[in-house]
Amino acid sequence: MKNNIKQFCFPSTAKEAAGLMARLGKAAVVVAGGTRHTRSISPAVETVIDISDLPLRHIKADADGLRIGALCTISDLEKSPLLAKWAGGVIAKTAGMGSNALARGMGTVGGNVVRPHPYNNLPAAFLALDAEAVFTDGRKEDKLPFAEMIAGADTLLFGHKYLLTELRVPAGTRSWRACAMRLSLTKSSWSSYAQVVAALDLRGGTVRKAAVAVSAVLPKAARIAAAERCLVGRPAGELASREAADAAAAALSSLTAGAESRAYGVRMAGVLVRRALMEAIGS
């Protein structure tokens, strides 16, 4: 495909990168790992802002929780000893669901969540763990709930006006029981019929907090509140998990307006919700 790229910029700070984005507007594009850009650069773009040199490739924890730099590759997450122990290792396991080693080695967390294709694996995990997105416009740093970043009014400003710098996961989720599951044609298929991440905060066998996030079935990953309501305040077990699964299937059927093309995915999402919950409880 023809492109009109005239220059590459290699900023060394997030502030400098966001400043370039603000100055160049639609004539520039931000590239991290580049796995989503190869076929989709607009002819209006004359400058590529390559952010791969920014110091945003950290995975660490402090008193507030987990901090994951936007330039971590998906493999970094998959191999992180810290993530292996956080919430049943659900972020690391979700990262490992990526279809092939090349895309996991090049693709970054930022690229995965800023333009979240329905099949992208990571958004559901960050939604389930109540993550926050930290970003800059070059003048100041700000943050907002991850759910708002992917579904709110400003979502399309990421990658144009806002540079995502970090995802933060609250400290309290460290001990949550969690499990991710996806169903696709083959293990290495990118497109899946359904993906589910279930996360539970259990106290004495009772569910204090519950998160059920679903992707692939919907255009964007989303939490399914009706399923979560079936779990909170109840003993963690088969009965509540079955009810949550039924509630999830009913909510998804309504959200997809009963579309025939989504019927299988919706049905399977219900099955995955029950299985993910039971595995999280047993973990």
Chain residues in the site for ligand FAD (CB under 6 A): 29-37, 70, 74, 98-100, 103, 106-108, 110-112, 114-115, 120-121, 158-159, 163-164, 190
For residue 178, the minimal CB distance to ligand FAD (Å) is 18
For residue 27, the minimal CB distance to ligand FAD (Å) is 13
The amino acid present at 248, given as its one-letter code, is: A
Task: Specify the residue, 159 or 210, whose C-beta has the smaller distance to ligand FAD.
Answer: 159
For residue 15, the minimal CB distance to ligand FAD (Å) is 13
For residue 122, the minimal CB distance to ligand FAD (Å) is 6
From residue 85, alpha-carbon distances to 90, 99, 168, 196 in Å are: 9, 23, 16, 20
Separation of alpha carbons 186 and 75, rounded Å? 20
The amino acid present at 56, given as its one-letter code, is: L
Residue labelled with tokens 């400098």 = 16
Chain mean position to CA 133: 11
Q: DSSP string of 54-113? A: SS---EEEETTEEEEETT-BHHHHHH-HHHHTSGGGHHHHHHHTSS-HHHHHH-BHHHHH
For residue 236, the minimal CB distance to ligand FAD (Å) is 29
Determine contact, residues 76/60, Cβ cutoff 8 Å.
no
Task: Specify the residue, 89 or 107, whose C-beta has the smaller distance to ligand FAD.
Answer: 107
From residue 79, alpha-carbon distances to 75, 92, 118 in Å are: 6, 7, 24
Task: Specify the residue, 117 or 234, whose C-beta has the smaller distance to ligand FAD.
Answer: 117
Separation of alpha carbons 217 and 259, rounded Å? 11
Task: Specify the residue, 124 or 207, whose C-beta has the smaller distance to ligand FAD.
Answer: 124
Task: Specify the residue, 35 or 206, whose C-beta has the smaller distance to ligand FAD.
Answer: 35
Q: Which residue is nearest to ligand FAD (CB)?
A: 111
From residue 56, alpha-carbon distances to 68, 132, 155 in Å are: 8, 16, 21
Task: Specify the residue, 24 or 106, whose C-beta has the smaller distance to ligand FAD.
Answer: 106
Both tokens assigned to 144: 């907002």
Task: Specify the residue, 8 or 254, whose C-beta has the smaller distance to ligand FAD.
Answer: 8
